[in-house]
Structure 1
Amino acid sequence: MRFSYFRLIIERLFERSYKEGTILRDGRYQIVRKLGMGSYGIAYLANDLHTNKLVVIKRMRAIKRKTRRKSFEREARILRRLDHPQIPALYETFTERKALHLVMEYMDGDTVESLIFEQGKTYTEEEAFLLLREVLIVVEHIHQAGIVHRDLRIPNILLRDTGVCIIDFGLARFLHERDSKIESYILEKKLRRQIDIKSDIYALGHFLLFLLYSSYEPTTDEEKSWEEELELSDGARSILRKMLQISPPYRNIGELVRDIDQVLEKKGMKKDVVVS
């Protein structure tokens, strides 16, 4: 515990965030503000002074440069391969102040996290499944490209006028890769971090639970499982059990979408996008 605390202090001493107005890349980019910090990088909103458009710049953190550089280079390869309008485009990479930087498309909009916890948005069962279905269309594209995201949480699902977007590919992996540490993880982390499409489906099971709980009003202080607390249709309950690997899990996105479509059809809801 003490070691972790001192390591955090040391990392913060080395991590000097860019200040507002900092100029990078030989006068091209100007930092507007810091967006957040993750395990491998610090993200900033910046103005591209050549195009006068906003971009996101992700700077590699200072500690463990070799490991983090490898992660950044992988993220760059992944974004180049995906090339999808609902996934941030990678514009360029550059090295400055001994750190690798990724310059990405800025996607404005509201994350599902901010919609639920800051704006008080609630979802019915039908609305939750319709939104999940939109997300799955993008996720299937990711899987078909031979990639697994591994971090499909409510802060990384963005809603825009043009549709659902998925951001932050810092933990994404190519499906042919292997994680030598996977067996040392606790079960929850193992289910989320497997380099397998089932890990994305598992994470989206929790995403779906967030949507469903947004409209839940507890009637007692007694702690219960989601199966006891949420009033769900039989089809919805079955889908969640498979997504969360309580029942035999889905093998691919297509199987999941077909079950969702059956639930929506029973409720008289229309769906417009076909998944292979």
Structure 2
Amino acid sequence: MKRIYSKLIEVSEKPLKTAELIGGKYIVVNLLGKGSYGYTYLVNDQQENLLVLKQLRKYKMLEESGRNSFKREANILKTLNCSAFPTFYEHFEENNKQFIVMEHKKGSTFEEIIFRENISYTESSAFNELYHILHLVKYIHELGFIHRDLRIPNILKNDKEYFIIDFGLARKLEDQTSLIEKKVNHLEKQLYREIAFKSDFYALGHFLLFLLYSSFEPISKKKRSWEEELQLTPIAKKVLRKMLQLDEPYAEVQLLINDVKECI
């Protein structure tokens, strides 16, 4: 019964409206995105600064794990004292709704770079992008966090600057896997969500494949694996296989950085 009630709340919930005033000082500009845990909005504050407002979904507020996850994200953002990640501003509750306010990072996703700007990546240039991103991941890992959601929408580039956003699924390395996460039986999702450094490398392996396929020209309609389709050097293939956990995965980020440097 509780699950049915939660599902009804989930499907009936509506996001905030444009121009709605939140917290007495934030005006909603538009909805940026919607996920299983929250809505994300672009907002203006009283000084006309563009910020990001994240709202915890109502049905997630019914669950202790959902409320804890939202608080955890706020605490992680407070810890990240680096311009490559959104600055935390405040965490508050209003009308039984929880919100986090953070810096708006201006940049393009690599999907936008490839398809809107018509950029394609060679093996060397793709690994060069990964090299820069891995230094941000190193900062996160050295603080004892795993991001666990290093997908294309959460990695931004603005000229020569790189940003990682959305720490909603991030965990401390010593965190115990929740009961909900233990129920995940899809292998690929387990590899993305495991509370281990290698889960971030796995996600970045798929990110790297996305870049490499930007310059791929198919010569056959026959479905083949990336190892058959992409013409890669032996070291590049070795790195990808380790990132994707097809071979013994990297134990820590510096080892991966060292190998990626050889591919540039």
TM-score after normalising by structure 1: 0.89
1:139 is the counterpart of 2:137: yes
Match of 1:274 in 2: none
Would you say 1:158 and 2:149 are equivalent positions?
A: no
Q: Secondary structure at the match of 2:215?
A: coil
> SS where residue 254 of structure 1 aligns?
helix
Structure 2 counterpart of 1:34, from 14, 19, 31: 31
What is the alpha-carbon distance in structure 2 between the residues aligned to residue 48 and residue 226 of structure 1?
46
Q: How does 1:65-80 map to 2 (within 5 A)?
A: 65=61, 66=63, 67-80=65-78
AA in 1 matched with 2:203: A
Whether the 8 Å contact between 2:123 and 2:263 is mirrored in structure 1 is no
Cα deviation 1:130-168 (Å, max 9, x = unaligned): 100000000000000110000001111000135110011
Q: Which amino acid aligns with 1:251?
A: A
Cα distance in 2 between the residues matched to 1:161 and 1:237? 28
Corresponding letter in the other structure for 2:252: N
Q: What is the percentage of aligned positions where both structures have the same residue? A: 46
| Rounded Cα–Cα distance in structure 2 between residues aligned with 1:95 and 1:162 | 37
Map 1:1-276 to 2 at 5 A.
Answer: 10-13=9-12, 15-26=13-24, 28-49=25-46, 51-65=47-61, 66=63, 67-181=65-179, 182-185=181-184, 186-264=186-264
* Residue 8 to residue 136, structure 1, CA distance change in 2 (3 Å): same
Query: SS in structure 1 opposite 2:59?
Result: coil
**Structure 1: 5+ residue stretches without partners:** 265-276
Q: Secondary structure at the match of 1:80?
A: helix
SS in 2 for 1:150: coil
Q: Which amino acid aligns with 1:256?
A: L
How many angstroms apart in 2 are the aligned matches of 1:124 and 1:249? 24
Q: Could you tell me whether the CA contact under 8 Å between 2:6 and 2:59 is conserved in 1?
A: no
Kindly report the root-mean-square deviation, in angstroms, between the aligned alpha carbons of the 2 structures: 1.8
CA pair 191-78 structure 1, distance change in 2 beyond 3 A? same
What is the CA-CA distance between 1:34 and the residue it aligns to?
Answer: 0.5
Tell me, what secondary structure is at the counterpart of 1:102? strand
Give the counterpart letter for 2:41 in structure 1: Y
Displacement of 1:64 in angstroms is 3.0
SS in 1 for 2:190: helix
